[in-house]
Amino acid sequence: MRIVLTVLLFLAAAAFPAAITEISLPLRSRVELYKGSGDWRETRLSQPLPLDRTAVVICDMWDKHWCRGATERAGKMVDRFNAVLGKLRERNVLIIHAPSETMEFYKEAPQRLAILGMPKAPPPTALNLADPELPVDSARGGCDTGDKNYKAWSRQHPALVIGPRDLISDKGDEVYSALKLRGVTHLLVMGVHTNMCILNRTFAIKQMTKWGMRCILIRDLTDAMYDPNDKPYVSHQAGTDLVIEHIEKHWAPTTTSAELLGALGK
């Protein structure tokens, strides 16, 4: 009964979208001026974002990461996450929490049961898209604080608010079904890490783009797994910026939390 009620609430929310159904969102992308030249130029434009057809996926914002530096940087972003997500909830935008490998912790959560109770929507044939090599080397794990790899996480960061109409999943097919049920065409992506889970999880940028979703990365609400002792031997922030530029070139445009809040009329 609880699953059915939660699904009905989800469908009711889709049927009665917020009054403001479209905003103009500033986006940043990259274009190769002359194809094959390697001469990439930053480009900025504003695009309509239909809020009644937009969702957010929060990628792997765990309570703890095996890399201390990664844990600390993610923790510093949580307040900003909550500010942005709160405004999006006011506009009835669907929020999906995707802390991978922690579904056992959420097995009784109504937000988890709700997505499990939804009808399945088979994904389309995936687009055959090029997947160029990343600009940073993370073969050794990408930890900049010298820690050893182990499974440190058990849940999402406890300070990251999960609303009553949010959903919880770490599976691409479940997320895709929820998006199709809601009529979503645009997917805002935030969380960690740009060169790993943000690109490669089944609910994140590569797969969702291949399934036809229009993804947008919130570039100040993300991080990379990159150690400056590895190629290309730049600072951690510079390495993160390089991966963001790679995403802008090959996968998705980006925006910032400030630009999104401004467009929402904070």
Reported as a single tens digit per residue, the pLDDT across 228-259 is 999 999 999 999 999 999 999 999 999 999 99
pLDDT digits 0-9 by tens, 58-95: 999 999 999 999 999 999 999 999 999 999 999 999 99
Domains of the chain: 2-15+51-120+153-264 (3.40.50.850)
% of the chain with per-residue pLDDT over 70: 92
Structure tokens at 229: 């002792």
How many CA atoms, within 13 angstroms, populate the side-chain half-sphere of residue 58? 27
Q: At what angle do helices 68-90 and 257-264 cross, to 10 degrees?
A: 10
Non-local (6+) Cβ contacts of 208 within 8 A are: 57, 172, 175, 176, 187, 215
Is the pLDDT confidence value at 17 over 50?
Answer: no
8 A C-beta contact, residue 126 and residue 213: no
Is the pLDDT confidence value at 131 over 60?
Answer: yes
- Give residue 18's pLDDT: 45
- Give residue 174's pLDDT: 98
Structure tokens at 115: 């997505």
- Give residue 21's pLDDT: 87
Q: How many CB atoms lie within 10 A of CB 19?
A: 7
Q: What is the pTM of this model?
A: 0.93
Burial class (CB in 10 A: 0-12, 13-18, 19+), 90: exposed
8 A C-beta contact, residue 217 and residue 209: no
Is the pLDDT confidence value at 150 over 90?
Answer: yes
Q: What is the mean pLDDT of residues 96-106?
A: 98
- Give residue 1's pLDDT: 52
pLDDT digits 0-9 by tens, 180-226: 999 999 999 999 999 999 999 999 999 999 999 999 999 999 999 99
Q: What backbone torsions phi and psi does residue 142 show, to the nearest 5 degrees?
A: 80, 15
Non-local (6+) Cβ contacts of 125 within 8 A are: none
- Per the DSSP assignment, residues forming a β-bridge with 59 are 98, 191
Band (pLDDT 50/70/90 cuts) for residue 16 is very low
Residue 193: cis peptide before it, omega within 30 degrees of 0: yes
Give the C-alpha distances (Å, rounded to integers) separating 159 from 12, 112, 237, 241, 261: 28, 18, 24, 26, 20
Q: Which string of b and e fits 28-60 if b means at least 16 CB within 10 Å?
A: bbbeeeeeeeeeeeeeeeeeebebbbbbbbbbb
Residue 135: cis peptide before it, omega within 30 degrees of 0: no
Is the pLDDT confidence value at 20 over 50?
Answer: yes
DSSP-derived pairing of the beta strands 167-168 and 40-50: unpaired
